[in-house]
Amino acid sequence: MSMYQNGEVDPAVKALEARQDEIMRKLYELKAAVEGLAKTVTTPDADLDLTVSSSLSSQSFSSTTLKGTTDLDTLLGKDQGALRDIVVNANPAQPPLTLLVLHSLLSQRYRVLSTVHVHSSVSNVPPQLLSCLGPRHADSYARHMFQLGFTLIWKDVPKLEMKFSIQNMCPIKGEASVARFLFKLLAPYPSDPALATLVDSWVDTAFFQLAEGSAKERATVLRALNSALGRNPWLAGPEFSLADIACYCCVLQSGSMSSAPTNVQRWLKSCENLGHFGPAKLLLQ
């Protein structure tokens, strides 16, 4: 029996070939998954990874804290097969505390492949900066098992920058803009325009007046924080938001923790009770 009739491929053969391709694809996926599993069992880091991931999931920052569900395909467009990698260049002289908090939250929501590198432009990066994203995964870890890559590069940059989807997006400079981007991967901004803008306004205040301002400016912001926190449990109302993350980290960075007024003290504790602020706090010690 001939497989070819008048130079055409028999449809039955075509179907068989398609099935075989599909089986091969599934086998390939299985093989990759098994290799990944084997790594977690056989490498010395595996126990460490397990300990950390279980300690993260046991933290009290529940999904109810951030309202609304987010889906990476909806937010960022369809996955083209390559790992979506967020690359951040940061200066070790100004560790981006908010990004560490957001990284911790992202790791709880998504399977994040986190890596820290040191660029040749800097030397003597302290060990706590090298381990600030948690223990390092083995290099051969299959990238396709992750939803998001988070690559932090300590580099002598004047201003923090993020590169993501470089064909479509310009490099994003400044911790505030990067923090807004990362937070939107976790929870949508409030749908009310005034509340959403209030969040952004606190983020600007945190980075430009608390973190970089004079002692007088800082004191003014602390008073404004105190008065806002007298009306609401969180800075932008009843919901925890990026405003809280940015202001917490900038109060911490500016060394105003102990001198903060009453409502601010209470709110600082509430933030800490959520977990996720630990890595930022450790880094400044």
Partner 1 sequence: SMALNLTINTSNVPLGALLAAEHVKGSVQLSVEEGKDTRLQVSEYFNDANSISRYLARVAPALGLYGANMMEQTEVDHWLEFSARRLCGQPGLTEALGELDLALSLRTFLVGHALTLADLSVWAALKGHEEWPSQGKSFSHVNRWFSFLSSQVPFTSVGNKYTSKKS
Which residues are near partner 1 by CB under 8 A? 75-77, 164-165, 168-170, 172-174, 176-177, 180-181, 184, 193-194, 196-198, 200-201, 204, 208
Question: Could you tell me the smallest distance in angstroms from the CB atom of residue 156 to partner 1?
Answer: 16
Q: Which is nearer to partner 1, 154 or 189 (CB)?
A: 189
Q: Which is nearer to partner 1, 221 or 274 (CB)?
A: 221
Both tokens of 67, joined, read 């309202």
Q: Which is nearer to partner 1, 45 or 200 (CB)?
A: 200
Question: Could you tell me the smallest distance in angstroms from the CB atom of residue 232 to partner 1?
Answer: 11
Q: Which is nearer to partner 1, 85 or 200 (CB)?
A: 200
Crossing angle of the two packed helices 262-273 and 242-253, in degrees rounded to 10: 110
Both tokens of 87, joined, read 């690359």
Q: Which is nearer to partner 1, 122 or 196 (CB)?
A: 196
Question: Could you tell me the smallest distance in angstroms from the CB atom of residue 264 to partner 1?
Answer: 19
Tell me the C-alpha distance between 63 and 108, whole Å: 9
Question: Could you tell me the smallest distance in angstroms from the CB atom of residue 77 to partner 1?
Answer: 7
Q: Which is nearer to partner 1, 145 or 196 (CB)?
A: 196
Q: Which is nearer to partner 1, 66 or 274 (CB)?
A: 66
Task: Map tokens 């800082």 to a residue.
Answer: 218
Tell me the C-alpha distance between 57 and 108, whole Å: 7
Question: Could you tell me the smallest distance in angstroms from the CB atom of residue 97 to partner 1?
Answer: 18
Question: Could you tell me the smallest distance in angstroms from the CB atom of residue 76 to partner 1?
Answer: 7
Question: Could you tell me the smallest distance in angstroms from the CB atom of residue 243 to partner 1?
Answer: 12
Q: Which is nearer to partner 1, 41 or 194 (CB)?
A: 194
257 in Cβ contact with 222 (< 8 Å): no
Question: Could you tell me the smallest distance in angstroms from the CB atom of residue 276 to partner 1?
Answer: 22
The letter for the amino acid at 150 is F
